[in-house]
Structure 1
Amino acid sequence: MEIISGFSKLSKSQKLAWLAEQVADNKEEFIAEFESYLHRDTQVQKLYDEFSENTLTNFYMPYGLVPNVMINGKLYAVPMVIEESSVVAAAAGSAKFWLERGGFKAKVIDTKKIGQVHFLWEGDFKKLDVLFDELREVMLDNTALITSNMRARGGGIIDIDLVNMTHIEPHYYQIKATFETCESMGANFINTCLEEFARSLKDWMANSEHFVGKEKEPLVIMSILSNYTPECLVRAWVECPVAELGYFDDMPPELFAYKFSKALMIAKNDPHRATTHNKGIFNGIDAVTLATGNDFRAIEACGHTYACRNGKYQSLTDCSIEDGMFKFWIEVPIAVGTVGGLTSLHPLVKKSFEILDSPNAQELMQIMAVIGLAQNFGAVKSLITTGIQKGHMKMHLLNILKHFDASETEVKYAIEHFKTNVVSFRAVRDVLDSIRVKVKE
């Protein structure tokens, strides 16, 4: 691979030609395959190209649907974008299971978001602390124009605090601000406000008669929102009498509930299990996040940090069995938007919101939390009953058959065979080999 300058300035066809020259034996075939994934509508493709940088083509992901999701008495069909076998099926199975037992309940606990100005300052903290109310008013005045539209929608800057961090690093302080961003995720809004706070801090100190010498020269390190939003929190839950859980094959409901609660206990106390447990939760949450054009990296990073809030990494879900009632719930921070970003640009994102009946940000938080809970219920149910591989590998069977270029006849035979046999890569290969030997004979 050669070093190249000015790659970003090349046209798409020039970028592809350069890449083909570097890696492909058959350059025309290489380029044609990339171009085959471009959208037939050039205007739509132009839109996709502008979402990112150095775009060559489109990378397709399956867009699935989970029907029968009852949340607070309202029925949803929830779109999910994910490539992992069995995820959508597991969520759909859980949704149907709980539909027959009253559905899911959910509520938003809070929607506050955080941003910080990090700065170094060689001065008397007590003096700054006493004068901070004055600085706060300056910051609010200087951001009034920026926040006017957000305030008109019921949001804006909720509070601005001074945080002494000198126990971490000498002379290190923060301006920590709390925001309400209503229907938008709010990253650009928050960062714009924070950068104005930093400018206001420097100007205020430089022009204040209360500070002298180095006290007039704070060194701003950075101004940035935090994706850790523990006060942007949603809770979702299901509950029913243990007896109404029903039988799982030959497993009575009492044993199922007991094993389920112990599985949650393990995920609360063993970080190895908790990591995989929470990964399953985000299989659901991330898939809805992608389908609605939100930032799954921010949501997942926040969720994992929240899972450590008690000093060790733990499950995001909980379970209780009290007085014959089974209850299963999740409490997770989710910061999302229903306006801005891709929500009004990406054609399928717009369809997702149409399918979801145009939810506001709080409703979308609830939907995501519910799908995460549904996904987790399905995963734990499989683990404590049939095992995770039985359902997962049967969903994965078609992918394995594709790998071996199975014909339509071979696919039908294999599906029938593996209704009563364990699916594995080797087992599928052996079955196909046996079919092909017979055909040759």
Structure 2
Amino acid sequence: MIEKKFISGFSKLTKDLKLSFIAAQMPNGEHIISELKSFWHQDASVQKMFDEFSENTLTNYFFPYGVAPNVMINGNIMMVPMVIEESSVIAAAANSAKYWAEKGGFHSEILSTVKNGQVHFIWKGEFGRLKELFPQLKDQLLQRTFPITANMQKRGGGVLDMELIDMTSKLQDYYQLSVKFDTRDSMGANFINSCLEEYASGLRAFVNDSGLFEGEPLQVIMSILSNYTPECTVRTWVECDVKDFADIDDSLTAEDFVWKFEKAVQIARVDVHRAATHNKGIFNGVDAVTLATGNDFRAIEACGHAWAARDGQYRSLTEIKVEGGRFHYSLTLPIAIGTVGGLTSLHPMARFSLHLLGNPSAPELMQIASVIGLANNFGAIKSLTTKGIQIGHMKMHLLNILNMFNAGESEKLLAVEYFKHHKVSHNAVAGFLSSIRNGHVKN
């Protein structure tokens, strides 16, 4: 166990010294060093790049990289990369993609691509006077960031608008300078934050040093983009005739299936416990695409969950409509994602993912991530309302359980065949392995 004491200067150690420091405090230290080094990239220059992505790096942490084939989006078929460790997620996406490809595929449209950030400030001065002089201030601020925004403007993006917002009803003396941005194919965090910090300096100077205002100085609290991007949204949907679900399950008619499916979605609209799990299934797909393309899944999840609670109650992100014998299931989601800059350009697997997808624009990648999110959600609701989630999930989880018991290849082959016809559980697998190791082969 690592010694529980304050460590000074750890970040200044070389990677080898960091490894030695940790290994010296654990049993089998040399084995630990060898195991951690076994995950280093064989190309030293690539490993150095990985090390520089973060801090205090010891080694690399591997996640499975898979693909969902046959994903039809607006009539185009593609193979979508997914990075996730959870069993059955990629299988569910692939199954849903194949199922809907035979019914016209997924449809998707971009609703908007605007991102935003704020300069948060405290001021006891006359806000009315500041608003009166705001056109003058706005011109000065835009000129101040021209060196930062010039290249983005050439690509058709840049600063779209800015406004002063009075927040004193929520917090005493609190105001915002709120700015909207179009960052084109980049996620744009560094661009937005650089602009906002310049705006903060310009705002502070305009109020405190211009002689136009009296009283206490304006105090900037912070300048930062918002990961809540309700104006950067994509809408994705599937639709077909209700009768087209006739082959969905042996035990249900098409009408019965659609009725159960609709009720399941309605439950997720009104019950927060179900909504959280419902939306988690969506992010199984969205996050997997986000990771595969080197984007920030934490920002996208934070935004999505905030969006789910935008009316004051946390709800499902999907909506269902069944009218005139037609089934229509949709997902509307804010996704701030990029295809240039950051890890999307540096990480070799992120570059490969984007190449596999045909080098999409950021709006196109928004659509792809949203489609995989809806595909995973549809697969989950379909399983829940028919045979149950555990039958398929536990069969996909079987190899993980077998590996926990150190099963050999011959044992795995026997187990896979046996559990084609039997329910998978931890105890059942343990019992099966015990039986065959004692010379008794189960049928």
| TM, length-normalised to structure 2 | 0.97
Structure-2 residue corresponding to 1:123: 125
Among residues 166, 177, 180, which one is paired with 2:168 in the alignment?
A: 166
CA contact (8 A) 2:124 2:215 kept: no
Gaps of 5+ in 1: none
1:78 and 1:249 mapped to 2: Cα distance?
30
1:281-292 aligned within 5 A? 281-292=282-293
Give how far 1:113 is off.
Answer: 0.5
Q: Secondary structure, in 3 states, of the residue corresponding to 1:344?
A: helix
CA distance in 2, matches of 1:302, 1:433: 48
Give 1:11's match in structure 2, choosing from 9, 14, 29. 14
Gaps of 5+ in 2: none
User: What is the CA-CA distance between 1:245 and the residue it aligns to?
Assistant: 2.0
Equivalent in the alignment of 2:315? 314
What residue is the counterpart of 1:110 in the other structure? 112
Query: For residue 218 of structure 1, what is the amino acid of its counterpart?
Result: L
* Residue 98 of structure 1: aligned partner: 100
Counterpart CA distance in 1 for 2:166 and 2:50 is: 44
1:58 counterpart letter in structure 2 = N
Whole-Å separation in 2 of the counterparts to 1:281 and 1:405: 33
Residue equivalent to 1:363: 364
Equivalent position amino acid for 1:5 in 2: S
- Equivalent residue, structure 1, for 2:76: 74
- The answer as to 2:417 corresponding to 1:416 is yes
- Are residue 21 (structure 1) and residue 38 (structure 2) matched? no
Equivalences for residues 386-397 of structure 1 within 5 A? 386-397=387-398
| Separation (CA, whole Å) in 1 of partners of 2:260 and 2:215 | 66
Q: Distance in 2 between matches of 1:143 and 1:406?
A: 62
Which residue, out of 84, 88, 94, partners 2:90?
88
Q: SS at the partner of 1:293?
A: coil
Question: Amino acid of the residue matched to residue 114 of structure 1?
Answer: N
**Which deviates more, 120-129 or 96-105?**
120-129
Residue 439 (structure 1) shift: 6.3
Q: Which residue of 2 aligns with 1:63?
A: 65
Determine the structure 2 residue equivalent to 1:294.
Answer: 295
From 134, 140, 143, the counterpart of 2:142: 140
Q: Separation in 2 of the partners of 1:304 and 1:232?
A: 14
Runs of 4+ in structure 1 deviating by more than 3 angstroms, as ranges, are none
1 CA distance for matches of 2:340 and 2:406?
A: 44
The Cα of 1:382 is off from its aligned counterpart by 0.4
Q: Which secondary structure does the structure 1 equivalent of 2:90 belong to?
A: helix
1:238 matched to 2:241? The reply is no
Distance in 2 of aligned mates of 1:293 and 1:123: 44
Partner Cα distance (2:119, 2:233) in 1: 23
Which AA in structure 2 matches 1:126?
G
Q: Post-superposition shift, 1:138?
A: 1.1
In structure 1, how many angstroms separate the alpha carbons of the residues matched to 2:151 and 2:101?
Answer: 40
Determine the structure 1 residue equivalent to 2:225.
Answer: 225
Partners of 2:115 and 2:229 within 8 A in 1 = yes
What is the deviation of 1:295? 0.3
CA displacement 1:100-119 (0-9 Å, x = unmatched): 00001000000000100000
**In the aligned structure 2, how far is the partner of 1:219 from the partner of 1:381?**
54
- Per the alignment, residue 155 of structure 1 pairs with 157
Q: Take 2:59 and 2:250, find their aligned partners in 1: how far apart are those partners?
A: 47
Task: Give the SS at the match of 2:339.
Answer: coil
Cα distance in 2 for partners of 1:262, 1:428 equals 35
Tell me how far apart the structure 2 counterparts of residues 246 and 81 of structure 1 sit (CA, whole Å): 33
Partner of 1:193 in structure 2?
195
CA distance in 2 between counterparts of 1:184 and 1:407 reads 47
Q: CA RMSD in A?
A: 1.1
Q: Secondary structure at the match of 1:234?
A: strand
SS of equivalent to 2:261: helix
Distance 2:114 2:159 in 1: 10
Greater mean deviation of Cα atoms: 128-137 or 379-388: 128-137
Deviation of 1:411 after TM superposition, in Å, equals 1.2
Q: Aligned equivalents of 1:378 and 1:30: distance in 2? A: 40
Does the 8 Å contact 2:120/2:223 carry over to 1?
yes
Q: TM-score, normalised by structure 1?
A: 0.98
Q: Which residue of 2 aligns with 1:373?
A: 374
> Does 1:268 pair with 2:265?
no
For residue 345 of structure 2, what is the aligned residue in structure 1? Answer: 344
The offset of 1:326, in angstroms, is: 0.5
